[in-house]
Each structure stands twice: as C-alpha cells, then as structure tokens.
Structure 1
Amino acid sequence: MLGRLLKYEIKSTARIYLPLYLLLFLTAVINKFFLSVNSENLGIPMAISMTAYVTIIVAIVVITLVITIQRFYKNLLQDEGYLMFTLPVSVDANILSKLLAAVLWNIASTVISFFSVLVLSVDRDMMGALVESWREFQTFLAAQDFAVHWIIFQSIVLILLSLVAGILNLYVAMAIGHLVQKHRVAASLGAFFLIGLVEQIAFTLFIELAAKSNWFYFLHGMNPVDQAQWLLTAAIIVVAVLGAIYYFATKYILKNKLNLE
C-alpha cells in the first residue's frame, strides 16, 4: 500500500515540479544563447532573461519547501485527513509516502538547479576542464585506500539523513501545532522554533560538558582520516536519533492525539 500512496504522491506533485524544471532549463538555454552572442543590442533582453532565470531558481527552492509542508499539512492534518485515515492504510504508510516523495523532490530540485547552472556556464574549454578534473578525481580515488572511500560514503549518508531529519522536523512541528484548538499554524511555527531552541541548548551543554570532561581527548592521537571517520559516524548517529525521535513523535500524535480541523 505504501507503493500506491507514494506513486499517487509523486504523480500529484509532479504536475507542479516538472513544468518548473522545464522552464528552468529553457531560461538557462536562452541565457546561454545570449551569452554566446554577446551583443550590446541584446543587453535588455539578456538582463530580463537572467532575472527570470534567477527568479525561477529561487521559486523552485521556495516551492519545494512549501509543497513539502503543504502535502503533509493539507493531506493529513486538515479535512483530507478524514479520508486518509479512514483508508486501510497504516499511519506509517501515510507518513512515509509524504516523506519519501518530499526527499525525492528535494534531491531532484537540487540536481536540476545544479545542471541548469552547468548549461548556463559551461563552454567548450570549461567542459574539457571538467572532464579532465573528473578523470583526475577518479585517479585520486583509485589511489586511495578504503578509508577515504568510506569517508565519502559517510558524507553522502549524512547529507541524506540530514535531509530526512529536517523534513521530519517540519512534520513533528506541524503535528504538535495541531494539538491546540486555535491558531494551529502559529502553534506549529512556535513548535518548530522551540524544537530548534531545545536542540541548540542540548548541543551547547553537551559541548561544554565534553570540553570540561575531556571526552574527546582520544581524537588528538588519531590521524586526520580516522578523526574524520569518527566525527562523521558520530554525526550520523546523532542525526539518525533525532530523525527517529521526530518520526515516532509524529506517528504517535497522528495515531493517538490527532484532532483534525
């Protein structure tokens, strides 16, 4: 059932994202044409086109965040929630379908924006330099031991986990906000900032306590590669624990405390 929900979620949101991605590439190609012509007579059209390109990138960033919030808020916490929670679908499936789709579109928006910049900026010389840099990078990796490859893998895992935890942070804040009877949007915002404040206080206290107790003194005897591995592992564990707390708190509220509008 999760697969069906995820397919529906992607299909529903693709109608918004795909036209934006296409429009972004079209403006990138147009700007690339203007840059290649480099004519003073095209100064105004080029300025307009470049402004449109930057505006679309900003719009993609904003819309990706808005849709990430809206799909969860509207489908599970407002009137549509009556339908979603009467279907023979678990709370886990409802949350995960929103989460996985949000992760997918956040990654897609980042990748598409990056490639549009390449389309806009890369010329023949730069393309050759990029190809050569990629070959040098592959040669560098081939010459490294397992530890460096593991660091790269850990970094990717940390980035993905941070994205998941960030989205779940939004979800749990919205779920907490809906525990109150009035001003739920304001309550959700308050919950979001309160969660961030609690995390910041806990992190600061932990760092101060660790510094006073010399908990991380053993890192001084490690080489830089081992230090990086240890720190990345610790960061992955912390982010994973936070994500799990957000997830299960959201699930508990939706399952036991939900009060739909």
Structure 2
Amino acid sequence: VYDRQGYLTLTLPVSEHQIIIAKLLGGLVWSILSYIVFILSILIIFFLTPIEKDFTALYNFISPYLSYGWLYALSLFVSSIAWILSIYLSISIGQLFNEYRTAMGILAYIVIAIVIGYVSLFFRIENDFNMMIGTEILRDLFLSAIYYLGTYYILKNKVNLQ
C-alpha cells in the first residue's frame, strides 16, 4: 500500500476501510492456513515417532481443556486479527518517515509489542481459565479496534508515497 504500487491501490474507487479489510482478510487466510499446517505437522511428527505412545495419558492431560476448544479457536482467531492489524499499524507508522521507513516500521512494532506486553501484565487473570481467555479476547478486540483506527487514520490523512 505504501510503496510504488500503493499509488495504484489508492487510486482505485474503494475506500480506505475496504483496502484495510481486504489486506486483513488476505493476512487472516494465510494465518489460518499456517495454523492448519502447524497442527498437521505436529500430528505427523507425533504419529511417525517410534516411541511408545501412551494415548490414555495424553487424553487425560488434554481432556479437561477439550470442552474449551471453541474458546481456544475464538481466542486464536481474535488474536490473529489483532496481530495482523498491529503489523499494518507498524507499517503505517513507518511510512510516516522520509528516511529508513522499514527500520521505523520495525521499531514501531517493537515498541507497540513492548507497551502492550507491559500493560497486559497488570490485567492478567490466572484464577479461572474462562475468565483468562475471555479477558484476552476482549483485550484483543479492543486492541484490534485501536490498531484498525490508527491504520485508517494514517492511510486516510497521512499517506506519504515515494
């Protein structure tokens, strides 16, 4: 969006919201595909290893969390959206600079990650699993909104194409 081809993207008869959503959906599809490949890789490694497998012990270890599978999936989905949007915000912040755009984008991502990680330490709930996942989902939704609005604002008002 912010390099030479960005001029063509920004001249299309679509809004900034549509550009961000299209990029988000593309990133989300690749993210979901990478999760699927990761899970398949773990399963292949697990079933091809020659060690003796104790499936009952594995099931006993995993079974308390199986009923929360939908909560895991929702948390993973929402955190993926927040992660992708944080990258887009970092790229948008980096393009505000005339020199060293890539370095500034990487620095912006590092700063955002440190600040969010530090703030998340104070709001961590470790007593109840449902509450912990629920607060993480709410946090990621809130952060997604901030990342989206920041990216939208920069894309709408501060575009600096080279």
TM range, smaller chain: 0.7 to 0.9
Instruction: Tell me the CA shift for residue 110 of structure 1.
Output: 2.8
Using structure 2 for the length normalisation, give the TM-score. 0.80
Cα distance change on mapping 1:232 and 1:118 into 2, 3 Å: closer
- Listed as ranges, the matches of 1:57-76 within 5 Å are 76=1
Match of 2:143 among 242, 245, 255: 242
- Listed as ranges, the matches of 1:182-193 within 5 Å are 182-193=99-110
Cα distance change on mapping 1:117 and 1:193 into 2, 3 Å: closer
Q: In 2, distance between residues paired with 1:96 and 1:185?
A: 22
Matched, 1:195 2:112: yes
What is aligned with 1:180?
97
Instruction: Tell me the CA shift for residue 260 of structure 1.
Output: 0.9
Using structure 1 for the length normalisation, give the TM-score. 0.52
Cα distance change on mapping 1:190 and 1:234 into 2, 3 Å: same
Q: In 2, distance between residues paired with 1:243 and 1:201?
A: 17
What is aligned with 1:90?
15
Residue type of the alignment partner of 2:115:
V
Q: In 1, distance between residues paired with 2:107 and 2:120?
A: 20
Cα distance change on mapping 1:231 and 1:201 into 2, 3 Å: closer
The C-alpha deviation readout for 1:57-77, integer Å capped at 9, x for no partner, is xxxxxxxxxxxxxxxxxxx01
Instruction: Tell me the CA shift for residue 114 of structure 1.
Output: 3.4
Instruction: Tell me the CA shift for residue 169 of structure 1.
Output: 0.8
Match of 2:40 among 106, 115, 128: 115
Q: In 1, distance between residues paired with 2:108 and 2:41?
A: 36
Instruction: Tell me the CA shift for residue 258 of structure 1.
Output: 0.8
Q: In 2, distance between residues paired with 1:111 and 1:190?
A: 30
The C-alpha deviation readout for 1:78-129, integer Å capped at 9, x for no partner, is 1111111111111111111111111111221232243245456636x99xx9
Q: In 1, distance between residues paired with 2:7 and 2:26?
A: 21
RCO higher in 1 or 2 (8 Å CA, sep ≥ 6)? 2
- Listed as ranges, the matches of 1:1-261 within 5 Å are 76-116=1-41, 118-119=43-44, 122=47, 149=67, 151-204=68-121, 206-207=122-123, 227-261=128-162
SS at match of 1:188: helix
Instruction: Tell me the CA shift for residue 252 of structure 1.
Output: 0.8
Cα distance change on mapping 1:119 and 1:192 into 2, 3 Å: closer
Instruction: Tell me the CA shift for residue 160 of structure 1.
Output: 1.0
Rg (Cα) greater in structure = 1
**Count of aligned positions:** 157
Q: Which has the higher helix share?
A: 1
The C-alpha deviation readout for 1:15-45, integer Å capped at 9, x for no partner, is xxxxxxxxxxxxxxxxxxxxxxxxxxxxxxx
Q: In 1, distance between residues paired with 2:116 and 2:34?
A: 28
User: Structure 1: which 5+ runs fail to align?
Assistant: 1-75, 142-147, 211-215
